[in-house]
Amino acid sequence: MEKQHLDRILKIRLPITIGVILVAVALTFLISKSERDGVGYQPEQPIKYSHLLHAGQLKIDCKYCHTGVEKARHAGVPSASICMNCHSVARRDRPEIIKLVKYYTDGTPIPWKRVYKLGDFAYFNHSSHVVKGINCVHCHGDVANAEVISQKMSFRMSQCLSCHRDAHNRLPELGDKIKNGPVNCSNCHR
Ligand code: HEC
Ligand code: HEC
Ligand code: HEC
Ligand code: HEC
Ligand code: HEC
């Protein structure tokens, strides 16, 4: 009786259980795929902020909010106080602005979700690219025309290297001014 029961589990339940586990693994693999592979990854953000409206239509300079691009390793994401330079007056009655004002008055940082993120073992510096004239578009796509940011380039090592080896052709607008980027391991893994 005991053994029969076990046999039944092994013959019927076990294959079913394994099947369910395989499906679950496959599903989580597929669901999280874009996040790992990068391209297309578009997390939902805590406030419906639009680059198309602010950087595109209102023509606010990227540097007004991403203050680090010319002088630091990180571009930086603006704090609520930068938004409040305008939104202490603009559109204060709108639901998304009410959320913004609440983060600001509570002193809670807005929990923006990162779209582009390298592992700690790789070194990238915005300023050394941006001051050479390399436009954001080459790495982040046409942000000024995007309602919501999604990943346009997966920063696998090969993506960095393919531009570093062929900067003239990848950045034709910079002409002969631009040198190739470094390809030694220690330049990017410090
Ligand atoms: C040569 C490619 C390249 C260029 C050009 C570039 N970025 Fe980036 N950007 C990256 C990479 C790679 C990351 C991820 C960095 C990390 O995780 O350390 C990133 C991350 C960011 C982030 C997330 C926050 C941060 O500081 O890491 C912002 C915001 C950003 N970039 C804005 C910009 C803006 C604005 C410009 C143009 C002025 C620009 N980037 C130009 C490659 C680039
Ligand atoms: C230089 C001024 C300025 C700055 C800085 C600014 N905004 Fe705006 N924002 C505006 C204006 C003006 C509008 C309204 C545009 C319109 O009427 O179509 C707007 C509209 C919006 C809206 C749409 C509101 C709605 O529902 O109609 C949101 C959300 C928003 N901003 C969020 C932000 C956030 C978050 C920041 C900071 C990261 C920010 N804004 C920074 C000027 C600014
Ligand atoms: C008014 C402020 C403002 C301006 C102007 C602005 N941004 Fe942003 N940017 C933000 C905020 C807030 C976020 C975080 C929310 C999001 O991802 O939409 C962000 C996120 C980003 C990211 C994704 C960062 C990450 O990895 O999570 C990139 C890339 C970026 N901006 C590029 C640009 C570029 C390029 C321009 C100019 C064409 C620009 N931004 C202009 C406020 C701004
Ligand atoms: C669109 C082209 C392009 C892409 C993509 C790109 N780079 Fe570069 N990078 C350059 C060029 C061009 C230089 C050399 C600039 C100069 O010195 O004239 C450079 C220089 C560098 C340097 C040396 C300067 C410094 O900051 O120490 C490092 C490190 C670097 N890149 C890392 C990266 C990493 C990591 C990535 C990928 C996440 C990347 N780059 C993606 C074009 C690119
Ligand atoms: C231009 C910058 C750059 C150079 C040069 C470079 N790497 Fe990388 N490397 C990266 C980036 C960016 C990643 C991916 C980071 C991430 O996944 O977040 C990476 C990832 C890796 C990984 C993890 C596995 C993988 O492929 O994602 C290893 C191992 C590695 N690099 C070794 C090396 C060695 C060895 C060299 C020299 C032959 C080298 N790298 C040169 C930028 C560089």
How confident is residue 70, by pLDDT bands cut at 50, 70 and 90?
very high
Residue 139: CB within 6 Å of ligand 5?
Answer: no
Hey, how many other C-beta atoms are within 10 angstroms of the C-beta on 105?
A: 10
Binning pLDDT at 50, 70 and 90, where does residue 56 land? very high
| Structure token pair of residue 182 | 């470094």
- Least distant ligand from the CA of 151: 3
From ligand 3's centre to the CA of 188, what distance in Å? 24
14-51: pLDDT as tens digits: 666 666 655 655 555 555 554 555 899 999 999 999 99
What's the rounded mean pLDDT across residues 52-71?
98
| Residue labelled with tokens 């470094």 | 182
pLDDT for 11 equals 72
Checking if the pLDDT of 141 tops 80, the result is yes
88 Cα to the center of ligand 1, angstroms:
28
Cα 83 to Cα 90: distance, rounded to the nearest angstrom: 10
Which residue lies with its CA nearest to atom 5 of ligand 1?
A: 136
Q: Is the distance from CB of 151 to CB of 40 less than 8 angstroms?
A: yes
**How do residues 114-125 score in pLDDT, each as one tens digit?**
999 999 999 999
Distance 181 CA to ligand 1 centre (A): 16
The pLDDT-based confidence of 3 (bands split at 50, 70, 90) is: low
CA distance 118 to 125: 11
Residue 2 pLDDT class (50, 70, 90 cuts): low
Nearest CA to ligand 1 atom 28: 75
